[in-house]
């Protein structure tokens, strides 16, 4: 069976530049190298590092979409035309994808997260071979596009309910493919040998309890509220907060800092040397940050569908403090996570939850062990197995 997977245009697969969608797709490719049930063709933005990494794959082919200066000029012209005419014109990368699809035959075309690709692909084939993989709650501005694919794959029941509410699709048209992570990659046992070197690298004392936040420094991630919560803590509590993530929407591809980033930096200065900003780090480095940490804080304010940092933190054996956002409650339990409501008392309750875990090492260990056990079901073998069921149904 031949499967085409079209990933979003800004980050590459293999996931050398990070990205949740790109990480999931890369894991799928890796699993297919072991199980060899399908032949995959990836349509991805070109990056030299990704191109070199792609050489290791036998059962996956890559078609690279190069976003060079000419592409950018054409995209600017089409955006201007779209604005003036009121007509939606696909960006040039989509035209390149269509050109290749016309010259290849696939049993399924899987569109990852970019609804702009659905109708152009539909026009050259038929919707019986098109699957749209929806990773976010933010793609319902044009709900009619969901009619132009066979099925919609979603990452949580929360997203499925939104699709059924906001589109004309029925229950049989929407299937949940639960997110996952590479359990062994994040296993605390496997990475414990790196803990001391990471603590030393960031000048963290062994007496400090290490909190971690991994993700973009963006309003919807709750990072400002996290720092506000830390400012409410008693001054005698020894802790350090590691913030690993790029500024705003840059995804590590730009050095441009947002106004919100500057606001967070200013607020963090009030905590002195208790806050460490690593900036963007590669996916392969995240396990080392987690093994150096004692508590994972995921204070999402937006309706996160199924953030990968949840799975990574559980697999790393960390107790989690998070919110009732989107699909998060579907993936954690009260044995491994403190789940907070996003109400007017959120900052205070976040501070109290952090204080509770800072004080009790025993509770941290009990919750961390429960999370590690719970994470075992969210593995790539299961993810691959469920994906195969979808494309062979």
**Distance from the Cα of residue 71 to its chain's centroid:** 27
pLDDT at 250 over 50: no
Class of domain 183-375: alpha beta
Mean pLDDT of 249-258: 55
pLDDT at 89 over 70: no
pLDDT at 252 over 50: no
Residue found by looking up tokens 């790196």 in the block: 194
Q: Return the structure tokens found at 271.
A: 């905590």
pLDDT tens, 26-70?
999 999 999 999 999 999 999 999 999 999 999 999 999 987 666
Instruction: Write the CA distances from 45 to 2, 6, 96, 109, 273, integer angstroms.
Output: 20, 10, 11, 17, 39
Q: Give Rg (Cα) of the chain.
A: 22
pLDDT at 251 over 60: no
CA gap 238, 248 in Å, rounded: 29
**351 backbone φψ class: left, alpha, beta (φ>0; ψ -120 to 50):** alpha
pLDDT score at 280: 83
pLDDT tens, 339-371?
999 999 999 999 999 999 999 999 999 999 999
pLDDT at 312 over 50: yes
Tell how strand 174-176 and strand 108-112 pair up: unpaired
Instruction: Write the CA distances from 120 to 29, 256, 352, integer angstroms.
Output: 25, 33, 51
Fold held by 2-180+379-392 = Rossmann fold (3.40.50)
pLDDT score at 314: 98
Mean pLDDT of 311-320: 97
Stretch among 75-84, 268-277, 335-344, 378-387 having the lowest mean pLDDT: 75-84
pLDDT score at 386: 98
Under 8 Å between Cβ of 181 and 308: yes
Q: How confident is the model at residue 138 (pLDDT cuts 50, 70, 90)?
A: confident
CA gap 289, 281 in Å, rounded: 10
Q: How confident is the model at residue 141 (pLDDT cuts 50, 70, 90)?
A: confident
Q: How confident is the model at residue 253 (pLDDT cuts 50, 70, 90)?
A: very low
Residue of 321, 316, 342, 343 whose CA lies nearest to 332: 321
pLDDT tens, 275-287?
999 988 888 899 9
Under 8 Å between Cβ of 288 and 188: no
Where are the chain's structural domains?
2-180+379-392, 183-375
pTM of the entire structure? 0.88
Higher pLDDT among residues 294 and 78, named by residue: 294
Domains 2-180+379-392 and 183-375 share a fold: yes
- The widest CA-to-CA distance across the chain, in whole angstroms, is 66
How much of the chain is helix, strand and coil, in % rounded to 5? 50, 15, 35
């Amino acid at each position: 069976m031949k499967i085409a997977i079209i990933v979003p245009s800004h980050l590459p697969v293999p996931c050398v530049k990070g990205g949740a969608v790109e990480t999931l797709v890369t894991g799928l490719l890796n699993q297919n190298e072991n199980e060899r049930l399908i032949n995959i063709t990836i349509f991805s933005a070109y990056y030299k590092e990704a191109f070199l990494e792609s050489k290791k794959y036998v059962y996956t082919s890559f078609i690279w979409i190069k976003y060079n200066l000419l592409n950018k000029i054409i995209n600017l012209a089409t955006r201007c035309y779209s604005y003036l005419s009121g007509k939606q014109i696909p960006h040039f990368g989509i035209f390149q994808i269509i050109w290749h699809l016309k010259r290849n035959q696939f049993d399924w075309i899987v569109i990852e997260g970019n609804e702009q690709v659905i109708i152009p692909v539909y026009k050259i084939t038929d919707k019986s071979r098109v699957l749209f993989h929806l990773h976010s709650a933010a793609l319902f501005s044009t709900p009619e596009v969901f009619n132009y694919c066979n099925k919609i794959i979603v990452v949580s029941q929360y997203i499925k309910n939104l699709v059924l509410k906001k589109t004309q699709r029925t229950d049989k048209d929407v299937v949940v493919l639960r997110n996952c992570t590479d359990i062994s990659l994040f296993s605390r046992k496997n990475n414990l040998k790196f803990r001391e070197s990471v603590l030393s690298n960031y000048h963290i004392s062994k007496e400090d309890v290490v909190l971690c936040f991994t993700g973009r420094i963006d309003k919807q991630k709750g990072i400002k509220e996290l720092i506000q919560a830390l400012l409410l803590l008693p001054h005698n509590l020894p802790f350090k907060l590691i913030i690993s993530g790029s500024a705003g929407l840059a995804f590590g591809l730009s050095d441009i800092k947002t106004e919100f980033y500057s606001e967070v930096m200013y607020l963090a200065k009030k905590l002195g040397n208790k806050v460490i900003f690593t900036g963007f780090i590669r996916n392969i480095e995240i396990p080392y940050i987690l093994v150096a940490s004692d508590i994972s804080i995921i204070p999402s304010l937006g309706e996160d569908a199924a953030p990968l940092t949840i799975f990574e933190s559980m697999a790393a054996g960390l107790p989690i403090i998070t919110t009732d956002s989107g699909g998060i409650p579907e993936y954690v339990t009260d044995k491994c996570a403190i789940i907070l409501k996003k109400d007017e008392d959120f900052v205070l309750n976040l501070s109290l939850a952090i204080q509770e875990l800072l004080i009790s090492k025993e509770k941290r260990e009990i919750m961390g062990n429960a999370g590690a056990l719970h994470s075992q079901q969210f593995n790539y073998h299961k993810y691959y197995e469920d994906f195969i069921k979808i494309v062979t149904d």
